[in-house]
A and B are shown apart, each in its own frame.
Chain A
Amino acid sequence: MGLVGNPNAGKTTIFNALTGARQKVGNWPGVTIEKKEGLLRFRDRDLLITDLPGAYSLSSFSLEETLVRDFLLNERPNRILQVVDGSNLERNLYLTVQLIEMGLSLVIALNMYDELQDKGLRVNLPLLQSLLGCPIVPTVGPKGYGMDPLLAALVEGEDEAPASGGVHVHYGPELEEEIARLAQTVSAAAQRHAIPARWLALRLLEGDREALVKLACDQPEQASGLQAQVDAAVQRLNRLYPEGLETLIADRRYGFIAGALQEAVTRSIIDRREFSEKIDRVLTHRWLGLPLFIAFLWLLFQATFTFGALPMAGIEALVGWVGGMLGSVLPTGPLRDLLVDGVVGGVGGVLVFLPNILILFLGISLLEDTGYMARAAFLMDKLMHAIGLHGKSFIPLIMGFGCGVPAIMATRTLESPRDRLLTILITPLMSCSARLPVYVLFAGTFFPRRAGNVIFLLYIFGVLAAVVAGKLLSLTLLRAKGAPFVMELPPYRVPTARTSLLHMWDRASQYLRKMGTIILAASVVVWFLGAFPRVDGDSPPAADSFIGQVGRALSPALEPLGFSWQMDVSLLAGLVAKEVVVSTMGVLYGVGEEAPADSEISPLAAALLDSGITPLAALAFMVFVLLYSPCLAVITAIWRETGSWRWTLFSVGYQTVLAWGAAFLVVKLGGWLGGNV
């Protein structure tokens, strides 16, 4: 059984109400769109419900819609449940018409029934059912109202053959004639695929290349004949309808819907300036809109990274305590080190982010469930569009100042895969909070009087780099394929605690499952590289470990930037997490991390000043840290979210090249300026 519906119709809410916690989350083969399945028992029957992505129509406009159409065609679910937003019937029923035309056995959940009634609409259900030819059950998702009748309707008709052809839109005599003629030609093929010939004919006339190719593969000998027949028909029709066939078809479908609604729905008074519009008078106000948006964003940011930081110390202490326990129980040796430093450390690395992730996702769920997310995109689109992005990209980019992992996961709110990819690729250029300790150390040591300004400029530089990279990528590799913006602004709704928490948990549990395992494995690998080869059965000095050796081997490449080998090794170690750069330097320069409270300058800073690093090299180093490859956790996030090794490697590669180039420029430009002053 498949669950379909327009975005914002309440599909997720209904799915959760029907299946409760019995859900299985996976991915659709080949794409990174989530696939959720839920199993439920009703009247001694097991029903397997597949939640399909939200879709406005089935003309395979976006990846999601293609997915829905292919699922419906290939899996041939014996029942389709469409969630219809009752407060927005006309547009929602467009999808219904397409589903009916596909000859699917359809049940409609007339959701948001409460809002429909609040709007003063009254629906004659039996009449609407007979007009559309399928059972309709009123529901209110968050309250769980209507679930039993809905299940009953789903189970009852299951064994009957779909009432195909019973109800159909009349497209006018000329088009109907062409449809009938084509339908006859393709009737055998349609039968084989168990789809209505009428629907197939209509698809062909609409210019569905895929359908044509598929048919051609079935019967190569007829392919060219069929092509010619379709082309001729389209030409004839285009002469008759200068507006174009597409317009005609959409027009007739909407006409059919309007007719049905006119008969079956009575409205008392229509309150046009509704509640939502009143709210929007403030929230998208010409002057107030943007400041308010910035304020909300600031709140979200603060909540995520300030509140989220509170339990961090506790989690770290807990992890430290567990590590200590293990350390004291186990005998000394590689196994103990592996467990304590590698595994416990790795798990700690995952858990430490959890409070941030939970809060961020709760915030995002609230933004989405209330309907504000669409407004945020509305407000920011002009700016973001200038660099080839969608308005919704703004939020992940800002989250990037905190931490790249939740930021990259936040790109899920973007519907178009191309916009998502582009946003994912530039988000790591926003300077995350883990890079701050590096700036503080270096700017504080080498530019003591201008540290604040230097750090601020680094942040700005990161933003500029993101803008330039975004623009360049959108002009080259990720050229927009004319994806239109056309975006629904759903009415504001008060989200229920249950739905928002469920949405939050949905995402957070994915973080734990998917990210957790990989970060853990990577931490173990990195631990190994740092702890081997053994010297007298003990960990080697940092410089002689594998990681140290690799770092030193890299020095020639970084030589032109004026970095010492200690800096190179720290950069490499910083791939685990950027703040590790500082602690590694501490180890390599042979000083403790902690600064004695009474000293004006920390021992590490003193060691750095003594080591002969020039201020220019220090600046280049900060620029390098700002731009170079994202850390392991972020790389993992990029891989999970793009589902592609190629793009992940690309991300690592382009940023590292960018970092090298920018640092080199700093050194050269600085040297030139210095020489001229």
Chain B
Amino acid sequence: MRHRFGFRFFRDHADNAASGCTPAPAGTPHAGHGHCHGRLAGAEEIPLGYCREGDEITIRRLAGHGPLRRRLLEMGLVPGTKVRVVKYAPLKDPLECEIKGYHVALRVTEALSVLVTFPATEAPL
């Protein structure tokens, strides 16, 4: 089940990802290690939508334009903000994050436009 989802997920969205990361063959966004996660890959920006449950990351920038971007900014997803991925919904779509001390749910496709890095690789903004 998860496998299938993982493949579809990447087929659907890999093109949208701004960073050039290569999905690991068995990579689901939150099931396996070894895909484009920054821990191994250096100071790479990865989309929030690829992060796993429990990841604690920092927002670097927001891709895209329009109302989504504005709403994300207003809700406090500004660059430099720390985010914790709390969990994915049982059907794997919206994901729940904690930012600025509150919880917010985003659709995975929306979370793809939020680019984040892992703390170990954080560069000064």
Contacts and interface: CB of A to CB of B under 8 A. Distances in A.
A91 B97 CA distance: 14
A670 B107 CA distance: 44
Interface string A365-401: 0000000001001110111010000010000000000
Contact of B105 (A57, A482, A485, A491): A485
Contact of B90 (A59, A91, A285): A285
A559 interface: no
Interface string A472-505: 0000000000111111111100000000000000
A620 B61 CA distance: 57
A251 interface: yes
B78 A251 contact: yes
Contacts of A484: 67-68, 71-72, 107, 110
Contact of A59 (B74, B76, B79, B80): B74
Contact of A247 (B78, B90, B94, B100): B78
Interface residues of A, number: 47
A261 to B, nearest CB: 10
A250 interface: yes
B102 A246 contact: no
B102 A381 contact: no
B16 to A, nearest CB: 15
B79 A488 contact: no
Interface stretch (A21-29, A159-167, A169-177, A286-294): A286-294
Interface string B46-80: 00000000000000011000111111111110111
Given A277-B86, A378-B89, A379-B89, A91 B110 contact: no
A250 B105 contact: no
Nearest to B80: A251
A382 B74 CA distance: 24
B96 interface: yes
A374 B62 contact: no
B70 A246 contact: yes
A276 interface: yes
Contacts of A382: 89, 91-94
B104 interface: yes
A427 interface: no
Contacts of A89: 101
Give the secondary structure class of B's interface.
mixed
- Count chain B CB atoms within 10 A of each CB in A56, A94, A247, A381 and give the residue with the most: A247
A378 B105 contact: yes
A284 interface: yes
Contacts of B87: 280, 284
Given A378-B89, A385-B93, A251 B103 contact: no
A456 interface: no
A316 interface: no
Given A56-B75, A251-B80, A284-B87, A485 B102 contact: no
A88 B96 contact: no
B90 A487 contact: no
A58 to B, nearest CB: 9
A488 B80 contact: no
Contacts of B94: 378, 381-382, 391, 485, 487
A639 interface: no
B26 interface: no
A37 B101 CA distance: 33
- Count chain A CB atoms within 10 A of each CB in B61, B92, B102, B104 and give the residue with the most: B102
Given A88-B101, A484-B110, A488-B104, A61 B93 contact: no
A158 interface: no
A423 B104 CA distance: 24
A254 interface: yes
Interface string A232-247: 0000000000011011
A450 to B, nearest CB: 34
Contact of B74 (A56, A276, A284, A483): A56
B106 interface: yes
A485 B107 contact: yes
A251 B106 CA distance: 20
A229 B78 CA distance: 28
A91 B75 contact: yes
Interface string A168-201: 0000000000000000000000000000000000
A496 to B, nearest CB: 22
Interface string A136-162: 000000000000000000000000000
Nearest to A293: B90
Contacts of A270: 101
Nearest to A488: B104
Contact of A250 (B66, B73, B100): B73
A88 B69 CA distance: 21
- Count chain A CB atoms within 10 A of each CB in B71, B80, B87, B94 and give the residue with the most: B94
A85 to B, nearest CB: 9
Interface in A34-77: 56-57, 59, 61
A544 interface: no
B31 to A, nearest CB: 11
A238 B110 CA distance: 24
Interface of B: 61-62, 66-76, 78-81, 86-87, 89-94, 96, 98, 100-107, 110
Q: Please name the 10 residue pairs, one residue from A and one from B, whose CB atoms are nearest each other, closest first.
A: A382-B93, A250-B73, A382-B91, A489-B103, A484-B68, A57-B74, A90-B100, A485-B107, A289-B90, A251-B78
20 contacts: A57-B74, A61-B70, A88-B101, A94-B76, A251-B78, A251-B79, A277-B103, A284-B89, A378-B96, A381-B89, A385-B107, A484-B67, A485-B94, A486-B110, A488-B75, A488-B102, A488-B105, A490-B102, A490-B103, A491-B103
